[in-house]
Amino acid sequence: SLYTNRLAAGVGLNWILFDGFRVKFTKSQLETLEDLSSGLLAVQVMSTIEDIIQVYYGVLLQQEQLEVLETVMQLSEDRYQYEMKKKSLGGSVTYNVLQAKNVYLTDKTNFMNQEMLVRNTTRNLNFMMGIEPSQTWEFSEAFEADTSEFILADLLSKMTADNQTLKNQYTSLLLKENETALQRSAYYPSISVGAGMDYGNTRSYSGGAQTFNSETVLPYGNVRLSFDIYSAGVRKRGVEIARINEDVAKVEIDQMEHALTNELFNLFDYHTVRLELLNVANENLEAAELNLSISEDKYRSGVINSFNYRDIQLIYLNVSFQRLQAIHNLISSKASLTQITGGFLSYTSE
């Protein structure tokens, strides 16, 4: 009988020396994607910071309003006690006592409702910070607004340079530019080198005896140049689509810059007006406090009646609330200006 055994094996190595800069553009693409992811995360961080600031100063606002209501309630209680003493001495009637009592109980109700609002806003703050709802705080910071003025030109410059949303849009444009370059790389040839070794072994047997034995070891090396001559327009369409996406990204940047500039002008105008409104509110409160102090003496001396005194109390209450709201509005507008100019991110980086 005659039979033959053959064994063949080989190992090869291929190394691409040049592939039309695809490695370079792909690496740049991945790095840009990483930057974009960081930028998107930064936007979320800034938004969360602004939300926490708004809720925090909302708590301070509610606490300040609670103190005002407590002051008014104390005045109503003093008036009620005063009418009770007058009645016991025969200087007042039941009607006046009941009227003072109703006013006092109304103010006490408002005070208790405000206490509930303080607790609710505090729980909202805990929720924003991921803290247990039962956590309580003692807020020692004074509820005051920074009355420093801004320069519009400086804000515009800072917004253009540091606004994170706008920076993300520029990063997105860079991605589109890298994609265009990546599509163009398909027009370049590729160069590669190869090396390897083939091994072969052949043995023949006849009648149980080996009649032939051959063993070969063949090393090899080569250089390969390949170029895609025709791709049915695939490369051309790929480049055209990438260019269109790049142009769209540029238009989106222009639109975003226009929208942000318009928003900045509005925020700057709000902040300027709110500065003036706070000054007006401060003057109004000074007058209301003086009027309240004078009216208390006039009420006890009988110059004004209980209705006049109550009207003056309500004026003081409304004016105090208006001033507190003016402070909160100014703080809010500054926070919005800080966010649109990228200020929160600078604070966290420091």
Q: What is the mean pLDDT of residues 242-254?
A: 93
Contacts of residue 11, defined as CB under 8 A and 6 or more positions apart, other chains included, come to 196, 197
Tokens 């005051």 sit at which residue?
144
Q: Are the C-beta atoms of 333 and 269 separated by less than 8 Å? A: no
When pLDDT is cut at 50, 70 and 90, the band that residue 284 belongs to is very high
pLDDT, tens digit, for every residue of 203-235? Answer: 887 766 767 778 888 998 888 888 888 777 888
Contacts of residue 140, defined as CB under 8 A and 6 or more positions apart, other chains included, come to none
Tell whether domain 2-349 is in CATH 3.40.50.1100.
no
Q: At residue 347, does pLDDT exceed 70?
A: no
* C-alpha span between 307 and 99 (Å, rounded): 10
Report which secondary-structure segment, H or E, holds 336: helix 306-340
pLDDT value for 350? 44
pLDDT value for 348? 45
Report if pTM > 0.85. Answer: no
H helices of 185-305, in order, are: 234-301
When pLDDT is cut at 50, 70 and 90, the band that residue 346 belongs to is low
pLDDT, tens digit, for every residue of 73-117? Answer: 999 999 999 889 988 888 778 898 999 999 999 999 999 999 999
Is the Cα dihedral 178, 183, 184, 186 positive or negative?
Answer: positive
Contacts of residue 34, defined as CB under 8 A and 6 or more positions apart, other chains included, come to none
